[in-house]
Amino acid sequence: DGGITQSPKYLFRKEGQNVTLSCEQNLNHDAMYWYRQDPGQGLRLIYYSQIVNDFQKGDIAEGYSVSREKKESFPLTVTSAQKNPTAFYLCASSITARQSQETQYFGPGTRLLVL
């Protein structure tokens, strides 16, 4: 997991509440990613960012929002519009998104549960 931190480890959301998941990396990577993991479904891409102040939607962006104001930080907000937010959320980074062979490295994850 080294170099990428995610907090909190567990997060509880009430109905109608927005919550923000933190992701920080000290690897000096340009690209950062958010994935959602559900049992038996592998990982699905929510959002990604190739560079500061830029981000793109992934396959399942509805109900989520992100920002990339600093190179080392890529927070994910799960909004009240996301009707099924219970999942394990993984943040990743890579040196760049421009080279397809670049390895993505993952953080330890945040488990989001709905009360």
Partner 1 sequence: AQSVAQPEDQVNVAEGNPLTVKCTYSVSGNPYLFWYVQYPNRGLQFLLKYITGDNLVKGSYGFEAEFNKSQTSFHLKKPSALVSDSALYFCAVRLYGSSNTGKLIFGQGTTLQVKP
List of residues contacting partner 1 (CB under 8 A): 1, 4, 6, 31, 33, 40-45, 48, 50, 56, 58-59, 88, 90, 92, 94, 97-101, 103-109, 111
Residue with smaller CB distance to partner 1, 43 or 114:
43
**Min dist. Cβ of residue 101 to partner 1 (A):** 5
Radius of gyration of the chain (CA): 13
Residues contacting residue 66 through CB under 8 Å, at least 6 positions apart: 34, 46, 47, 49, 55, 74, 75, 76, 77
Q: Is the peptide bond before 75 cis (omega within 30 degrees of 0)?
A: no
Q: How far is the CB of 106 from partner 1 (least distance, A)?
A: 4
Q: How far apart are CA 112 and CA 95, in angstroms?
A: 27
Q: How far is the CB of 84 from partner 1 (least distance, A)?
A: 18
Q: Smallest gap, in angstroms, from Cβ of residue 31 to partner 1?
A: 6
C-beta of 56 vs 86, nearer to partner 1: 56
1 contacts 92 by C-beta, under 8 angstroms: no
